Amino acid sequence: MKSDLDLKARQMLKSARLYCTAGRVGVLKALLKADGALRQDQIAERLGKKRFDKVTIYRTLDSLVKVGLVHKAYIEERARYFELAHNCSETQCHPHFTCRNCGRTHCLMDMTIPGVKKRHKGFLIQRQQTRLEGLCPACA
C-alpha cells in the first residue's frame, strides 16, 4: 500500500500532467517532508536507498519547476534551494530567514512583505524574493 505522501506526490504529478516516475515521486516526497527549502544534494540524501545521480535530480527539479510544482526559493553561496511552490504566488515568494549563528533557514509563511508595484528606471520586475538574516529564537 502506498503512503499518504506517495499518493499526494502522484496526485500532484497527475494534476500537472507529468508521468509519475520514481525520481519525480521521490523528489516531491522529499520536498513534502521538508520543513524548508532544500539543496539538490540534500534532496539526494533524503532519497536514501533509491539514489539518483545529480543529473537525474537536476532534470527532475527542472521539470517540476517548469510546471509550477516546485520553485527556486533562493540562492546561497552559489547553491540553489528548492521548495514546493504552493505557498507562493507566481510573482512573489514568502520571506526566508537565515540565522547567522546556526545557519538554518526558516520559511516565514505567516509574514507578508509589500510587493513592488511600479517599475524602477526601466527594470521589469518579474518575481520578488525576500531573504532576511539575523538570529533565530533558539540562538538569540
Cell numbers representing residue 20 in the block: 509519475
Question: Between 106 and 44, where is the model more confident?
Answer: 44
CATH number of 4-87: 1.10.10.10
Q: Between 84 and 115, where is the model more confident? A: 84
71, 63 in Cβ contact below 8 A? Answer: no
Q: Where in the chain is the domain with CATH 1.10.10.10?
A: 4-87
Domain with CATH 3.30.1490 in the chain: 91-140
The fold of the 91-140 domain, in CATH, is Dna Ligase; domain 1 (3.30.1490)
Task: Say if residues 27 and 33 touch (Cβ distance below 8 Å).
Answer: no
pTM for the structure as a whole: 0.74
Confidence of residue 118 (pLDDT cuts 50, 70, 90): low
Buried residues in 85-99 as b, exposed as e (16+ CB within 10 A)? beebeeebbbbbbbb
Mean pLDDT of 102-108: 81
Q: Are 9 and 2 in contact (CB under 8 A)?
A: no
